[in-house]
Amino acid sequence: MVTDNEAHNENHDKLRAANEEKKNKLIEQYGACFSDMSTNNELPPEIESQFLDNILAFETNYDSTNRIPLYDFVGKPTYRKVGDLSDKEITEELNRLTELLDSYQVALDTICDVAERELYRFITEELFLNEINDMHIQGMYTRFIYEEFYPNHEHDICEHSNDFIRSYLDKANDFYTYLLTPEAEKADWHLHFRQAFSSFQLNSFSIAGLNFDTEKARVLFECDFVGKIEGSVESLHFVGVGELNLLGRWNYWCIDSIKLPKNL
């Protein structure tokens, strides 16, 4: 007599086998990669099956679908011009359009705060004209990010500066090299200082000021950190104002040079 638990396990085994066949098909026909999923034994086979079905449906339909304006994709909704709406009406209409987009599995995200009136203008005057694949797959969203259309340079510069310093002063982390310009990465100015210390302790870091245009930026920062000298028990304490210079490359801000504060 087969118990309920045994039947449950048997069904799961069959589903896992079917999932492997789906993954092999996606790998062979579309060059998919499932390295992370293959090692995740905790993922329920039902969830994995639905995910694979969605991916397969997407890949099967992608090449044969037409591209249409987002406005057509979401049913050509009626809307009013941004200049004809009061601030209260803007909030109401923006919520209505956001809910409409969500019903068609379309989302607009922002990284920074953006005024509601600007978001409404952006949706109705620009995003609606953006062409997407005329393809509806249950559970799969089309996502847009406002800053991909209108980059917030000040935010990006501050974020990259913060990420650079925290990675540069973490000897176990070389992520900072991905934030360098190609010229800076090839140079060795960022290596000598770092290699002179076995470890760092970052006590504080903050942006004190910045100037930028579309091609370059200069960041002043206040920093307090301690570096333990390589091969010694002694440490040096660095406190004061430093400077980062960044260059805009390929719509991405890269660190080109740095001046660290002097040690006490």
- pLDDT tens column, 115-167: 999 999 999 999 999 999 888 877 788 999 999 999 999 999 999 999 999 99
> What percent of the chain has pLDDT above 70?
81
Nearest-5° Cα angle at 121, 119 to 124 = 105
pTM, two decimals, is 0.72
The confidence score (pLDDT) of residue 52 equals 65
pLDDT by residue (tens digit) across 88-126?
A: 999 999 999 999 999 999 999 999 999 999 999 999 999
Write the pLDDT tens digit of every residue in 51-68: 666 666 655 555 556 889
**Rounded distance, CA 127 to CA 72, Å?**
11
Phi/psi of residue 54, nearest 5 degrees: -65, -45
**Beta strand 142-145 with 106-109: parallel, antiparallel or unpaired?**
parallel
Q: At what angle do helices 45-62 and 4-30 cross, to 10 degrees?
A: 30
User: In the predicted model, is pLDDT for residue 253 greater than 90?
Assistant: yes
pLDDT of residue 38: 47
**168 close to 178: Cβ distance less than 8 angstroms:** no
Overall CATH class of domain 153-259 = alpha beta
Average pLDDT, the chain: 87
